[in-house]
Structure 1
Amino acid sequence: MPTPERPITVALVDDYDVVVMGVAKILDQYRDRVVVAEIDTNEPVEDVVDIVLYDAFAQPESDQAEIGVLVRNPRARRVVVFTWNFHPNLVAQARAQGVRGYLSKALPARELVAALEAVHAGEVVISEDPGRARPASGLDWPGRGEGLTDREAEILALITQGLSNADVAGHTYLSPNTVKSYIRSAYAKIGVESRTQAVLWGVKHGFQPDSHRIDHWRGGP
């Protein structure tokens, strides 16, 4: 387990800057136990870290490619997925890849930190399926200020990336009807009536992936 002299080092990975910055701010409350070493959006992990926390917002969970890259990275001692999507196939695939934690975004900050400490100590930690629970306080995502839920925002992000409804359903393990329901709800909230309008709105409001790295966030190692 970490000590006050040696907190756990964590790299945060997601293609959306606002998403990983929100997670970083949550973890920053526990700097004596967990320190963010780097934040990566579309960039490979460079620092040697105890844990890579892979935020699954609008990420390729279903094809496992990105997770596999992280697990094989010698700089990442352990990989943990942070998500709201607990479809049994996704959990099983992540475990088969070598992921050591599959954690819910509904976890309060103190429980998230405790779960990371348990993974660091050698345990495999799988959260209970949160169902429709709200994400933990402090998390952020594109479109939150416009009233989009995290799931609506993820669907809109995937649409902005050019995915069809069928692709979105396969990517998220949601039914086509559920995807359509999220799309209708998102369109109403952002005031658009067509897919083209939604994509243009998404491009304008931060729904395209970022591409940079933030090293040593707030004085980290």
Structure 2
Amino acid sequence: MIRVALSNDYEIALLGLAAMLAQHPDRVQIVDLTTETDMSHDPDLVLFDTFGRLPEEDAKLRQVIESNDAKVVVYSWDDYPEEAARRQGAAGYLSKSLSSADLVAGIVAIHEGRQPTAPTDDGDAELTWPGQVHGLSAREAEMLTFIVRGLRNEEIARRAYLSINTVKTYIRTAYRKIGVTNRAQAVAWGFRNGFGSTDETGV
């Protein structure tokens, strides 16, 4: 049984991830769901969900790695590249495209010092994120978190390894879905709807 801690800035994202892992109680035990950097229950492995994070110089990821003896594994979409995670000291990387079974298999493999195998099917629907109930996709919601944190489009594009046009497209569709027309309105909407991060290290 592998003792797993889940780390992210947003509690709603942690709950979705916990629901996925809870389907496999014979292989993993969730011992922490936290927005903090220090795990309090001595896990074997920390799964660091990158929702709302940017891969360039992620101070919180480094703090989680430095504050815990457990292996820290980054759990992310492709726009937070594996090489960026490993450059900052992560012991492994697992994609959010994985099903719950493949995610757990990946956790077991990394814990045992092996490379995870390729996924066998698409990801589960249990993943949750801020703004999901308002129709925002995970990528649109992440763009909104960066706006709430005060980043300009150019900085988001540079630090997230996305083209400026891709960033603008995500933002336009997010604005349309939440019924705002400018950045100030988007920031105000974000704070009213759970996009205020617990992280004090920035992005």
Q: TM-score, normalised by structure 1?
A: 0.82
**RMSD (Å) for aligned C-alpha atoms:** 2.0
Give distance in 1, aligned partners of 2:71 and 2:86. Answer: 12
What stretches of structure 1 of length at least 5 have no aligned partner? 1-6, 212-221
Tell me the equivalent position of 1:28: 22
Paired amino acid for 1:182: Y
Give distance in 1, aligned partners of 2:117 and 2:190. Answer: 33
How far off its partner does 1:110 sit?
A: 0.4
Which one of the candidate residues 20, 27, 47 is aligned to 1:53? Answer: 47
Deviations 1:26-81 (A, max 9, x none): 111111211111111144222211111000101242213222222223x3321111
Paired amino acid for 2:32: E
How far off its partner does 1:106 sit?
A: 1.0
More RCO (CA 8 Å, sep 6+): 1
Which one of the candidate residues 77, 82, 90 is aligned to 1:91? Answer: 82
Give distance in 1, aligned partners of 2:79 and 2:175. Answer: 25
Tell me the equivalent position of 2:129: 141
Give distance in 2, aligned partners of 1:51 and 1:42. Answer: 15
More deviation, 117-126/136-145? 117-126
SS of the residue corresponding to residue 136 of structure 2 reads coil
Tell me the equivalent position of 1:3: none
Answer whether contact 2:57 2:88 (CA < 8 A) is retained: no
SS of the residue corresponding to residue 23 of structure 1 reads helix
Tell me the equivalent position of 1:82: 75
Tell me the equivalent position of 1:168: 156
Answer whether contact 2:100 2:123 (CA < 8 A) is retained: no
Answer whether contact 1:160 1:208 (CA < 8 A) is retained: yes
Give distance in 1, aligned partners of 2:122 and 2:143. Answer: 16
Tell me the equivalent position of 1:121: 112
More deviation, 14-23/117-126? 117-126
Deviations 1:93-125 (A, max 9, x none): 322333222111110000000000001111244
Give distance in 2, aligned partners of 1:60 and 1:19. Answer: 16
What stretches of structure 2 of length at least 5 have no aligned partner? none
Tell me the equivalent position of 1:153: 141
The reply on whether 1:198 has 2:192 as its aligned counterpart is no
How far off its partner does 1:166 sit?
A: 1.6
Paired amino acid for 1:111: D
More deviation, 160-169/149-158? 160-169
SS of the residue corresponding to residue 32 of structure 2 reads strand
Tell me the equivalent position of 2:95: 104
SS of the residue corresponding to residue 208 of structure 1 reads coil
Answer whether contact 2:37 2:64 (CA < 8 A) is retained: no
SS of the residue corresponding to residue 116 of structure 1 reads helix
SS of the residue corresponding to residue 76 of structure 1 reads coil
SS of the residue corresponding to residue 22 of structure 2 reads helix
Answer whether contact 1:155 1:179 (CA < 8 A) is retained: yes
SS of the residue corresponding to residue 71 of structure 1 reads helix
Deviations 1:167-208 (A, max 9, x none): 211232111111001000000111111111111111111111
The reply on whether 1:39 has 2:37 as its aligned counterpart is no
Paired amino acid for 2:142: E
Q: TM-score, normalised by structure 2?
A: 0.89
Answer whether contact 1:80 1:101 (CA < 8 A) is retained: yes
